[in-house]
Amino acid sequence: MIRLKSEEEIALLRENALMVSKTLAEVGRHIEPGITTRELDAIAEQYIRSLGAVPGFLGFEGFPATLCMSVNDVVVHGFPSGYKLKEGDIVSVDCGTIYRGYFGDSAYTFPVGKVDARTQQLLDATKHSLELGIAQAVAGNRTGDIGEAIQSYCENLGFSVVRELVGHGLGTDMHESPEVPNYGRRGHGVKLREGMVICIEPMINAGRKEVYLDENGWAVHTADGKNSAHFEKTVVVRHGQPEVLTTFEFIEKNC
Ligand code: MG
Ligand code: MG
């Protein structure tokens, strides 16, 4: 069942979105060679609590941390650890909050120092494909319009789209209906209606699309060991133009 949100609910989701946006920037400010993903997780947890919210992922279906920290070949759902980031890595930071009963959810993939040209292209393409997907999030369109926009852009550049993980609705639950795949066909899928709040989150691989689940039951890796990038925003479906609740402004002002 898809739950359309009232303007009061959207206001609460907007507050959460601002919090996750600021938290990602706070984490990004500290990303440099030598810092561990666990140290970054602690920074995020403290920051979220200082805003009066609680981490949205911590304890969610047993997830052990505030952030999903997914380095290089890890697509999503990596655990923060003692791993020290090094020059040339990329790290997807996925952040959730809960504030007044509603969720925030956004992700950004950061380069650590300077990355090689093809990796930078992967980051740029994934982020741009998110914007192309968002542009389709208008009432009357379908989820397939979002997926097709992301898929065709990324595949034209020689990248591939992960099939096993998709975007989702957001509200009082972190994963609500509908599913929002990053692949699809124009005019297919669930019809978008004013007041739907969705997370669009392309997960794009440098190499092949196949992935496997880590033995820890959480982290998803690329099967070929090549890099994967992930960007996510929370969006309200509106007539004419979508309303984007999260922003990368704070990150890109900082870095
Ligand atoms: Mg997320
Ligand atoms: Mg999400």
Looking at the domain assignment, is residue 2 inside a domain?
no
Reply yes or no on whether the pLDDT at 91 is more than 70: yes
Reply yes or no on whether the pLDDT at 255 is more than 90: no
Q: What three-state secondary structure class fits 11?
A: helix
Looking at the domain assignment, is residue 129 inside a domain?
yes
Looking at the domain assignment, is residue 236 inside a domain?
yes
Average pLDDT for residues 220-234, to the nearest whole number?
A: 98
Q: 141 alpha carbon to ligand 1 midpoint, in Å?
A: 23
Reply yes or no on whether the pLDDT at 199 is more than 90: yes
Q: What is the pLDDT of residues 71-89, one digit of tens each?
A: 999 999 999 999 999 999 9
Average pLDDT for residues 154-171, to the nearest whole number?
A: 98
Q: 158 alpha carbon to ligand 1 midpoint, in Å?
A: 25
Largest CA distance in the chain: 48
Looking at the domain assignment, is residue 1 inside a domain?
no
The strand order across the sheet containing 228-230 reads 160-161, 203-205, 228-230
Distances (CA, A) of 204 to 161, 241, 251: 5, 25, 21
Reply yes or no on whether the pLDDT at 37 is more than 80: yes
Query: What percentage of the chain reaches a pLDDT higher than 90?
Result: 99
Q: Band of the pLDDT at 145, cuts 50, 70, 90?
A: very high
Which one-letter amino acid corresponds to residue 110? Answer: F
**Looking up tokens 């789209």, which residue turns up?**
161
Residue 146: CATH number of its domain: 3.90.230.10
Reply yes or no on whether the pLDDT at 254 is more than 70: no
Query: Phi and psi dihedrals of 151, rounded to 5?
Result: -60, -50
pLDDT for res 40: 98
Q: 104 alpha carbon to ligand 1 midpoint, in Å?
A: 8
Q: 167 alpha carbon to ligand 1 midpoint, in Å?
A: 8
How would you class 9 by CB atoms within 10 Å of its CB: exposed for 0-12, middle for 13-18, buried for 19 or more? Answer: middle
Reply yes or no on whether the pLDDT at 163 is more than 90: yes
Spatial CA neighbour of 231 closest among 75, 27, 5, 82? 75
CA–CA distance, 187 with 166 (Å, rounded to integer): 18
Average pLDDT for residues 228-252, to the nearest whole number?
A: 98
The ligand placed nearest to the CA atom of residue 70 is 1
Q: 232 alpha carbon to ligand 1 midpoint, in Å?
A: 6
Query: Phi and psi dihedrals of 195, rounded to 5?
Result: 95, -5
Q: What three-state secondary structure class fits 72?
A: coil
**Looking up tokens 């120092």, which residue turns up?**
113
Q: 94 alpha carbon to ligand 1 midpoint, in Å?
A: 5
The tally of domains found in the chain comes to 1
Distances (CA, A) of 163 to 6, 63, 114, 175: 31, 22, 29, 17
178 Cα distance to chain centroid: 16
Mean pLDDT of the chain: 97
State which residues form the domain around 81: 7-254
Q: 168 alpha carbon to ligand 1 midpoint, in Å?
A: 9
Q: 1 alpha carbon to ligand 2 midpoint, in Å?
A: 18
Distances (CA, A) of 26 to 40, 158, 171, 193, 250: 9, 32, 24, 34, 9
Find the helix or strand (DSSP H, E) in which 54 lies. strand 54-55
Looking at the domain assignment, is residue 219 inside a domain?
yes
